[in-house]
Amino acid sequence: MSPKIHLKIVGILLASALLCSACQSFIPTAQGLKSTAWVDQSYLRQDQIEVQWKDKSFSFLLYQQQQGKNLDMIALSLTGQQLFKLSFNGEKVTVEQRIDQMKLLPFEYVVRDLLYATYPNYLTEAKIEQQDQMKMVLIQNQAVLKITQQENEVELQNIQVPYLMMISPIDAALESDGVLNAQ
């Protein structure tokens, strides 16, 4: 291979890599994610999550633990495989680990939706309209989430990306230290 062709190939590869890395910046950030009053606190929550999207459904266990300003979220399949590990500091979601099948999942939206549905006093600039057991989350006067509190579960319906999430709390007596600290 001649040096000119080799340089052209290297140049094309570098340009492609640069363009692909820039694609992430085109994914819109989840409006309503940044908290206006994120504080240092201790928080622990364990849920079984069932998601229905189009003709697919899947379930996982979700462990949320906050110490200080960082909230960690770890999802495990029902067989114990770690699906993803995220961290949120009140402004930004950091994906620390995920399986290949979840590479395209918009974690900012997932975290935002879970925080509105389960986190105590989650404050952002979004407007919340409450009516009995249902609350509607409006961002820039547009409905984005419908959250219905039922007896033993929370139903979260994302209106922007049409999916349904059922969130069922797991007994707090279950031991989670090993799960969160073993990673």
Contacts of 80 (CB under 8 A, 6+ apart): none
Strand partners, 131: 134
Segment 16-38 shows an average pLDDT of: 62
Q: Tokens 């300003």 map to which residue? A: 69
Q: Which of 34, 37, 61 is nearest to 49 (CA)?
A: 61
Measure the CA–CA gap between 125 and 32, rounded to whole angstroms. 6
What was the pLDDT predicted at 22? 42
Q: Which residues, in sequence order, are bridge partners of residue 134?
A: 131, 148
pLDDT bracket for residue 147 (50, 70, 90): very high
Residue 16 has what pLDDT? 45
DSSP conformation class of 26:
G
- Asked whether the beta carbons of 166 and 155 are under 8 A apart, the reply is yes
Q: Where is mean pLDDT largest: 80-94, 108-122, 149-163? A: 80-94
Name the least confident of 9-18, 154-163, 169-178.
Answer: 9-18
Mean pLDDT of 139-157: 93
The answer to whether 106 and 27 have CB atoms below 8 angstroms apart is yes
Q: Where are the domains of the chain?
A: 41-181
pLDDT over 80 at 71, yes or no: yes
Out of 2.50.20, 2.60.40, 2.40.10, 2.40.50, the CATH code matching 41-181 is 2.50.20
User: Residue 112 corresponds to which tokens in the numbers above?
Assistant: 């935002």
Q: Is the pLDDT score of 53 beyond 90?
A: no
Nearest-CA neighbor of 116 among 61, 85, 159?
Answer: 159
